[in-house]
Amino acid sequence: MRNYLIIGALLAIFSSILSAEPSATVADNASPPVETPAMATDTPSAPDESKTTTAESTAKTTTPSAPDESKTTTEESTAKTTSAATTDAVETTTDEKSTAKTEPTTTSESKPATTTSATTSSKLVPEAVIQALKRIIKTDFDKVSITESAVKGLYEVLIGSEVVYVTDDGHYLVVGDIRDMKTGQNLTDDKRAQLRVKEIEALDEKEMIVFAPEKETKYTVNVFTDVDCPYCAKFHAEVPELNKGGVKVRYLAFPRAGVGSKTYNTMVSVWCAEDRQKAITDAKAKREIKSATCNNPVDKEYELGKRVGVSGTPAMLLSNGELVPGYVPAKQLIAFLERKSKAKSQPATDK
């Protein structure tokens, strides 16, 4: 009896083993699970030892999907488009900068003059300056020269041989000299000298009364003279001494009483005389001279004298454009001209 019980228990255990084996077989023959995006991207959890066989089977039988070419192509296209857009943006920015550099900005202060061609400065003359000058200069405005001065905000205006200044807003007119406080240089007088040199170079010596040295001419002085001026007569008495010192004297007419005066008529007679040197010597010595008329430069030289700043006689205009007013004794004048010549020949040294 006891044996039958043992055999029955063994049969029950065997039966339960047989019933469990078919389930394992079905699992081995089942088709692999379909891979989903979630399965491809999620991080796998720690492996379950009870399911190791199933996981290995799935890994072996599942073919990895090929990379999405359309996605890669799209990303590359997007990258290229972005790069092109960036390049275009850079080029556009560069073009804008280039345009900003090459296209000057016009302001009210840099409006060009439309009625004068005398502007010689690097910047255009403000319209306010031009309009202000037009209100005071009624004729020959085209002969006016306007440039920037050494002082910021002031424009230098040349009217004939006169130098004045106008503020850049056209509100103020400044008459006077500008000096460099460091060097003591008179910038305004330097400009006047430049203008006088141009006037000298335009002169025709044939229209002057000239007393030249017999030998070498070292220096030349242009003397505005009046035959009725006592100091002009005193200067003339020393002309022979000046000639010996190598100084050429060139006389220009400047009748102080003006055109039409008695002195003016006398000077016309002197310039129209056959021997001008004798005629001017006689006139200054108060000797009577023969009245004469001709095509003469007395008016022109008188106007020239006023333009270059002559206000009295004698007045000497040197070759460098410097104006020396009044009488200077011959010895002093020769020494003065020598010093000027030496200073000019010596090179400038930096301080």
Domain residue ranges of the chain, discontinuous segments joined by +: 110-184, 204-345
The CA-CA-CA angle for residues 223, 228, 230, to 5°, reads 75
Tokens of 137: 């200069």
Is residue 179 among the annotated active site residues?
Answer: no
pLDDT of 295: 95
| Active-site choice (229, 250, 287, 294) | 229
d(CA 4, CA 56): 45
pLDDT of 72: 41
The whole-model pTM stands at 0.60
Is residue 294 among the annotated active site residues?
Answer: no
CB 294 within 8 A of CB 319: no
Closest CA to 222 of 315, 135, 131: 315
pLDDT of 342: 86
Q: Which of the residues in the chain have pLDDT under 70?
A: 1-123, 346-351
Contacts of 266 (CB under 8 A, 6+ apart): 227, 228, 283, 289
Which residue matches tokens 């010549």? 341
| Active-site choice (192, 196, 232, 250) | 232
d(CA 190, CA 347): 18
**Fold that domain 204-345 belongs to in CATH:** Glutaredoxin (3.40.30)
CB 157 within 8 A of CB 142: no
Q: Per the omega criterion (within 30 degrees of 0), is the bond before 255 cis?
A: no
pLDDT of 347: 61
pLDDT of 41: 39
pLDDT of 212: 97
Mean of per-residue pLDDT scores for the chain: 74
CB 32 within 8 A of CB 61: yes
**Fold that domain 110-184 belongs to in CATH:** Nuclear Transport Factor 2; Chain: A, (3.10.450)
Is residue 229 among the annotated active site residues?
Answer: yes
Count other C-beta atoms under 10 Å from residue 186's C-beta.
Answer: 14
pLDDT of 25: 37
Is residue 272 among the annotated active site residues?
Answer: no
Tokens of 194: 């430049």
| Active-site choice (192, 196, 226, 228) | 226
Ramachandran area for residue 213 (φ above 0: left; ψ -120 to 50: alpha; else beta): beta
